Amino acid sequence: MAKPTGKILSKNKSFVVNGSLWIECNGERFFGPGPVELLERIEKTGSINQAARQMQMSYKKAWEIINTLNNYAGHPFVVTQTGGISGGGSTITDEAKTMIGRYRQLREKFEAFLEKETQKLNE
């Protein structure tokens, strides 16, 4: 049986269990904090270009993320509309919104896990 870490670690220090959460497909990052933020900004602005600019990301990088999302998903996450009198625009699909919601649920569980393990570490 393992010793409690409180007997191993210094009592006058504060330790934190930390980590990042993302979803992979075929060993490649598919969905995480960056894509979630990009999708949410596209939803708010109606524009890939504006969303990328707000994130201080190149338009090319934003498109790379969108292409990865659209290629791995069963249905596109971002739909673009070109031209017209008022110009084009972009929207995120219901599938993207569902995936964002699922990611948020996973994130809540992950945060709870990190907090629980941090408490154990500092006992």
Name the residue with higher pLDDT: 30 or 60.
Answer: 60
Name the residue with higher pLDDT: 82 or 36.
Answer: 36
Distance, CA of 85 to CA of 69 (rounded, Å): 29
Phi-psi group of 68: left, alpha or beta (phi > 0 → left; psi -120 to 50 → alpha; rest → beta): alpha
Residue 105 has pLDDT above 90, yes or no: yes
* Percentage of the chain exceeding pLDDT 90: 70
What average pLDDT does the segment 44-50 reach? Answer: 94
Residue 108 has pLDDT above 90, yes or no: yes
pTM above 0.85, yes or no: no
What average pLDDT does the segment 77-85 reach? Answer: 81
Closest CA to 36 of 53, 58, 17, 21: 21
Q: Name the CATH topology of 31-121.
A: Arc Repressor Mutant, subunit A (1.10.10)
Distance, CA of 84 to CA of 75 (rounded, Å): 25
